[in-house]
Amino acid sequence: MSTKELLDKAMKLKPEERFTLVEGLIKSLDEPDKKLDEIWAEESEKRLKAYREGKLEGIPMEEVLKEE
């Protein structure tokens, strides 16, 4: 079934049924992505290691948050 067909069928639902459908779809998009979390964890470990080895310089928080 195509997306357009699904949308056409969904539009025939009662408003409260459409709300339940939309709510479920939005919740499905907001679920944590374990693969993405793993990628970020690996990247943060690499950055921390590089910082500790002196290969990466830190920036003071005041400078990062400074408004120009």
pLDDT at res. 68: 72
The span from the CA of 39 to the CA of 23, in Å, is: 28
Domain boundaries defined on the chain: 1-31, 32-68
pLDDT at res. 22: 95
Report how far Cα 10 is from the mean position of its chain's Cα atoms. 26
pLDDT at res. 44: 96
pLDDT per residue as tens digits for the range 21-61: 999 999 888 778 889 899 999 999 999 999 999 999 999 99
The span from the CA of 40 to the CA of 46, in Å, is: 10
1-38 burial by CB neighbour count: b if 16+ within 10 A, else e?
eeeeeeeeeeeeeeeeeeeeeeeeeeeeeeeeeeeeee
Average pLDDT, integer, range 4-8: 94
pLDDT at res. 9: 95
pLDDT at res. 48: 95
